[in-house]
């Protein structure tokens, strides 16, 4: 199998075209979609789409990981964000780091996707191989779904090993991001149609729990995927509030691009007017002989810097264990990589 996409229980093969124009999602056919955090759009149309088991392939455990921010650098970044909050620049910002290792020889992204599906099932998981890029994602977070003119986002903010670990800070952060998502969707929604059917619900996932809210809206006449992406990207839960100020601050603090991590990954069926894009978290991507994985945490005034570092470790550990097959996800590498 060469190029393929697996998402929403559907296996797509027969790559027909690739474009960077999101307007293609309003035309015809079934599309795999990747938008990097930096805004690079890839839409790939496949001609053979069918319900099928997840494809499999050979996979080998990767070697040691390096991290774009070690613990000291990450803690300093948290202090910088708290200072920006004190100065009124931001209310919240999501500080991330990227782990990198050599892509094992002969490893197939389909094999990694199959491992994740067995070892860390996730509601918005996706695996795909496109020219120059391969992704295996176990995302638990919905960035945008669409069914006709009804759109929905389910931002995650608040993470712990159990519900007892969740703090008042986590709920406050979730409410903050819900307001941001409401405002984003309001730019393209019919007046008065933005609602919050669920606020701060507790969801269990392998090895941890999240606070998850649901924001729903009805698209205004004439609006579609290009307008939705323009109004809401990057996802609010992985940037901060206000979004523009958080993006500027994070660009100063994070030494490497996030790539597909914290972007959007999913599918769109233009013929039926349906689709679902996940936030690209819990996501591996292979490119240029390297395998990468991102992890991060939302920082507020109430954040404890070392606790936030441990949250990034918690989010990454199980996924790295699944990828290694031998529990090597414990104790992530501390060495800082150079800016590319």
Positions marked active-site: 141, 157
Q: How far is CA 96 from the centre of its chain?
A: 11
Q: Return d(Cα 3, Cα 75) in angstroms, integer.
A: 40
Q: Give the number of C-alpha atoms closer than 13 A to the C-alpha of residue 18, restricted to the C-beta side.
A: 15
Q: Return d(Cα 156, Cα 215) in angstroms, integer.
A: 11
Cis preceding linkage at 242, omega within 30 = yes
For 88, residues 6+ apart whose C-beta sits below 8 A from its C-beta are: none
Cβ contact 52:277 at 8 Å: no
Question: Would you list the DSSP string of 14-49?
Answer: EEEEEES-GGGGGSSSEEEEEE-TT--EEEEEEEEE
Q: Return d(Cα 234, Cα 39) in angstroms, integer.
A: 8
Cis preceding linkage at 234, omega within 30 = yes
Q: Return d(Cα 243, Cα 93) in angstroms, integer.
A: 8
Residue 125 structure tokens? 């998981």
Look-up of token digits 């094992």:
104
Find the angle CA(65)-CA(314)-CA(79) to the nearest 5 degrees: 85
Q: Looking at the DSSP assignment, which residues form a beta bridge with residue 152? A: 145, 216
Q: Which helix (H) or strand (E) holds 296?
A: strand 290-299
């Amino acid at each position: 199998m060469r190029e393929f996409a697996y998402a929403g229980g559907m296996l797509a093969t027969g790559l027909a075209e690739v474009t960077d124009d999101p307007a293609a999602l309003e035309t015809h056919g079934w599309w795999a979609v990747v938008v990097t955090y930096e805004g690079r759009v890839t839409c790939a149309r496949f001609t053979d789409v069918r319900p099928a088991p997840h494809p499999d392939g050979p996979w080998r455990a990767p070697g040691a990981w390096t991290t774009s921010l070690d613990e000291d650098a990450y803690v300093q970044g948290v202090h910088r964000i708290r200072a920006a909050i004190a100065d009124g620049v931001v209310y919240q910002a999501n500080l991330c780091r990227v782990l990198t290792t050599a892509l094992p020889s002969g490893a197939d992204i389909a094999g990694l996707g199959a491992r994740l599906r067995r070892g860390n099932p996730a509601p918005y998981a996706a695996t795909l191989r496109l020219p120059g890029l391969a992704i295996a994602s176990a995302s638990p977070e919905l960035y945008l779904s669409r069914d006709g003119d009804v759109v929905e986002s389910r931002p995650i903010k608040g993470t712990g090993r159990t519900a007892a670990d969740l703090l008042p800070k986590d709920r406050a952060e979730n409410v903050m991001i819900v307001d941001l998502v409401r405002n984003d969707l309001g730019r393209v929604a019919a007046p008065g149609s933005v609602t919050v059917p669920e606020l701060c619900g507790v969801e269990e996932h392998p090895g941890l729990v999240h606070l998850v809210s649901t924001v729903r809206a009805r698209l205004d006449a004439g609006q579609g995927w290009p307008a939705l992406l323009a109004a809401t990207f990057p996802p609010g839960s992985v940037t901060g509030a206000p979004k523009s100020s958080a993006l500027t601050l994070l660009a100063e603090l994070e030494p490497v691009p996030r790539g597909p991590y914290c972007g959007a990954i999913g599918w769109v069926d233009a013929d039926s007017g349906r689709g679902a894009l996940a936030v690209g978290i819990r996501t591996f991507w292979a490119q240029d002989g390297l395998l990468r994985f991102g992890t991060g945490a939302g920082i507020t005034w109430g954040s404890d810097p070392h606790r936030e570092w441990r949250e990034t470790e918690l989010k990454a550990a199980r996924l790295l264990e699944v990828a290694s097959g031998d529990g090597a996800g414990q104790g992530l590498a501390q060495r800082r990589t150079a800016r590319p």
